Structure formats: structure tokens, C-alpha cells
Amino acid sequence: MAKKVRVRFAPSPTGGLHLGGVRTVLYNYLFARQHGGDFVLRIEDTDQSRYVPGAEEYIYECLKWCGLQPDESPQVGGPFAPYRQSERKSLYRQYAEFLVQEGKAYYAFDRPEELDSMRERFKTAENPSPQYDHKVRQEMRNSCALTFEETERLIADGVPHVIRIRMPENETVSFTDMIRGEVSFHTGLVDDKVLLKADGMPTYHLAVVVDDYLMKITHAFRGEEWLPSAPVHILLWKYLGWEADMPQWAHLPLILKPDGNGKLSKRDGDRLGFPVFAMNWTAKKEDGTTELTKGFRELGFLPEAFINMLAMLGWNDGTDQELFTLDELVQKFSIDRVHKGGAKFDFEKAKWFNHEWIKKADTASLKADVRRILADHDMSIIDDEQLGKVITLVKERCALMTDFVEQAGFFFQTPQKWDVDAIKPKWNEAKQAFFGDVINYLQQQTNWNGADLEHGFKELAAAKQIKAGEVLMPLRIMLVGGKFGPGVFDIAAIIGKEETIVRVKKVLELL
């Protein structure tokens, strides 16, 4: 009988969630849903020196916004709790000690200055940063180089020590990656990684293997930057006697800078003016000040568009289709169509996805967000029906939700300034007089709707022998402040008779 699919996302609570991390969540989630499996969120907080307060809550909030809720997590619990590694600390030592007894790991008592001295001593032109491996192992203060009695005495005296894996000198470790196929490593090139730190906390290497085993994880999807660690993890599965239960691996391609040169980082986003985090993240700097890093959510992305864009960064379904709902992605996703090569991040393309999703969105579903965004700019909206009409009129013009401020703000607030310089070159007394007549015409209107207003305005222009095209642009600037926006008579219909007349009069005074 096939095992139930169980996948996991295991972030460290150290800061903002990079879009590469959210894509890892997404691929895990899609795979689990497609196979009727479980998606587990596990918090890898073993490195307490890097722990950042608030970062764990931020991860939950990001996944909630994206609609990628885990089946098991520290928040919701589950049959394999606890889901925070710091709360599982007592579990790991027994496995590390077992590896020592089996001769697959060893105690290392080296002080920081001894490690620095080793790096200086073994440095060469070919090897500028030597690692703690089989070549230097016998030269250091560890249970491979010391006698059994010396080792026992150091432990009895409470001398701080770590436990390191003993990497074989000359073996090949191979596994089948679901994306890359057969992958092989020579063990002589891999250092003896620390498995258990002096404070009793496991490192990622030991914890990820023990937790994946105890939580019955069947598939492990993670970024390709973890590929160099794969031989250590595979040997741990083997040495602990769990090889038959080892998950299938898939190392996802990197998300690259727009020019394709290297992994996309927060610094690239800052430099090029786009976000790389899912949501705003405020970091405390060493000098006590804070630094805000913008997120996709606050910039005005819809979660549907963000998820759709991420899915396509490194995957496609083999057709030309680009717009997918989450349900469609669950149906169509397949790990064997994930690319091996990195995917270049293109912010213009990301905005294109968002624009398409805003256009597709049901007006009612946008109301709450648009209301909040406008309120942030001191525009209070009382009439819900009016807001709905405005959204329907302008949503095709918005690539970001924040664009509603410019594209819809003038419906709810008289413009603060008008682009009269665009009117002046072709302005004359006849037009000034014509708009005086327009005011009289508007004051007499009882049927206040776009079609009737347009018809009456054009009839009046014809009667005064003025081309309608020459006075429509000034009318638009009077109502909107600039040369943009939807149909000018639709605008007048929504802002109402009184406000339309106030704006026309104001600009006539300025002219």
C-alpha cells in the first residue's frame, strides 16, 4: 500500500519571507493537495542566536494571506507535535550519541581560537578556506585523535563539545532527484558537519533528518542551495538505519536577479525598486533603529496574482496558459515539469499578472481593500453602491491595488491641482463662454446619467459651432485634474450635479 503523501515547509524565524520561500510552500502545498496528502509547517528555530521575535507570527500571516494554510503546525497542532524544533530539543541528543557509538560521528572539543588557528595553518593558494574534514580531523582535539580515556575525562570534566558527523574519505553518495534525475557526490569533498552544538541544540543537518523521519515526511522539496548538504543528510538517513523511509527529494531552481546573474536578494529589490518579501517586514538594526522592507501585499498585489506569478517562476503546464486559479494549479501542477535552471524574476511581468487578476476580480471582492487603501489617503467613502460603480469603471486601469488612489481618488475628493497648462494653448473666449453655457445646462438637468449628459453636451457644442473633441479634454481636466480616467460623462454621473458644477467653475476661474 502506498504511503500517504506528507510534505513540509521548515523555515527559520529570522526575518521576512522571501518570495523563493513562498514558492517552496506553494509547490509543497500543490503536491500535497493533488495527492490527498498533508502539508506540514515546522519551525526550525534551533539557531537561537539568529531568532527574531515576531518572525514566526509573520510566517503564519504570510501563508494565511496567500491562502496556503498548513494542515499541521505550531499554531494548529497535529499528531506529531511539537512542531517547533526548540521544543523538541530533548529528542536529538540520543540520535547524535547513537552515531558516536556506531563510529559514524565523534566528539569535538576544539575552542573557537583552535578552529581559527587550524584555518590559518592549513590555508593554501588552492584551499584558501580549509574545512574541518578527514584531512585535518587527526590534527584537532576530538575523539578521533584523542584516546578513549582522554575523551571520557574531558566529558566528565564538563568541557564544552560538539558532535560532528564522520564523513567517509572516499565514497560516492547518489540519489535520484525528482527534478534533476541522478545526482552524485564524492564524500571526500564534504566537511564533517556539526550535528549537535555545545548547548545541546541540534544543527539543521541532524534536526531535519530526525524530524522528517519522526513526522513521516514522504517528499522533501527545498531550494537548490541545499544540494551541497544532501550527501550529509543521505548518510544520516543511512547511518540511523532509516534508509527505507527516506523521503524523495526535489531541489527547486533558484529565483534569479532580472539579469540572470545570481540569486535574487533583498538588496537587489532595494536597488531595483521592487519587493522580494511577501509582506512588509520591519527589521531592528544593530544601532536600535528599524528598517522597513516593502512586501508584495502592501505594494498592492492580490494574493491570487502573487501565487499565480510564483507558480510560473520555474514551472509551466506545457501549454500557453498563464493565468491559473489555485484550484487549477492543484489540478495541473507536476513536479516533473519544474525546470532545472533558475528562473529570472521580472517585476513588469509580476505586475502584468496582478493587472490581469484585478481585471478578472469580482467588484464586490475588491471593495474592502479599495476602501482601506483610499481611507489611508484620507478619503472616506460613505456610499457602498457608488464605490462599486467606481471600481467597475477604473479597475481595468489598475496594475496594483494602490493605483486606485490615482485612478479613483478624484471620485471621492475634489482635485487639489489641475493641469491647466494642458488647456491654455488652445483656450479662447469662445470656449470660456461655451463652458458658461455648460454650467447653465448642467444646472437645469433632471436626468443625471452619463448618456443624457453626453448627448446634451455634444448638442450644445454643435449649436455653438464648437467641435466636441476640442472641449472634451478641458472638461476631463476640470473633473479629474489631469488627462486620464474613464469616460468623462460616467465620471460626472457618479460625482453628481453639485460637485461637477463646482469643479467646472473652479477651473474657469483659474483660466
Active site residues: 266
Whether the Cβ atoms of residue 410 and residue 484 lie closer than 8 Å to each other: no
- For helices 488-495 and 404-412, the axis angle rounded to 10 degrees is 50
The DSSP line for 114-158 is: HHHHHHHHT--SS-SS--SSTTTGGGSSBTTTS-HHHHHHHHHTT
Cell 560538539 belongs to 162
Radius of gyration of the chain (CA): 32
3-state secondary structure (DSSP) of residue 112? helix
C-alpha cell of residue 73 = 503546525
Cell of 165: 558527523
Q: Is 266 annotated as a binding residue?
A: yes
- What does the alpha-carbon distance between residue 251 and residue 219 come to, in Å, rounded to a whole number? 11
The CB density around residue 360, as the number of other CB atoms within 10 Å, is 13
Q: 315 by DSSP, 3-state: which?
A: strand
> Which of 437, 487, 476, 432 has the alpha carbon at shortest distance from 460?
437
Q: Alpha-carbon distance 178 to 252, whole Å? A: 10
Q: Are strands 162-165 and 6-9 parallel, antiparallel or unpaired?
A: unpaired
What are the Cα distances from residue 215, in Å, to 70, 78, 326, 337? 14, 10, 26, 27
Contacts (Cβ under 8 Å, ≥6 apart) of 207: 44, 46, 85, 88, 92
Q: Which three cell numbers stand for residue 321?
A: 496558459
- Nearest by Cα to 500 from 417, 394, 402, 411: 411
Question: Which grid cell sits at 182?
Answer: 541522478
Distance, C-alpha 25 to centroid of its chain: 10
d(CA 268, CA 280): 16
Which residues have C-beta within 8 Å of that of residue 307, sequence separation ≥ 6?
A: 26, 66, 67, 68, 326, 329
CB 333 within 8 A of CB 30: yes
- The terminus-to-terminus CA distance of the chain in angstroms comes to 82
CA of residue 198 relative to chain centroid, distance = 34
Determine the 3-state secondary structure of 317 from DSSP. coil
Binding residues for ATP: 266
Binding residues: 266
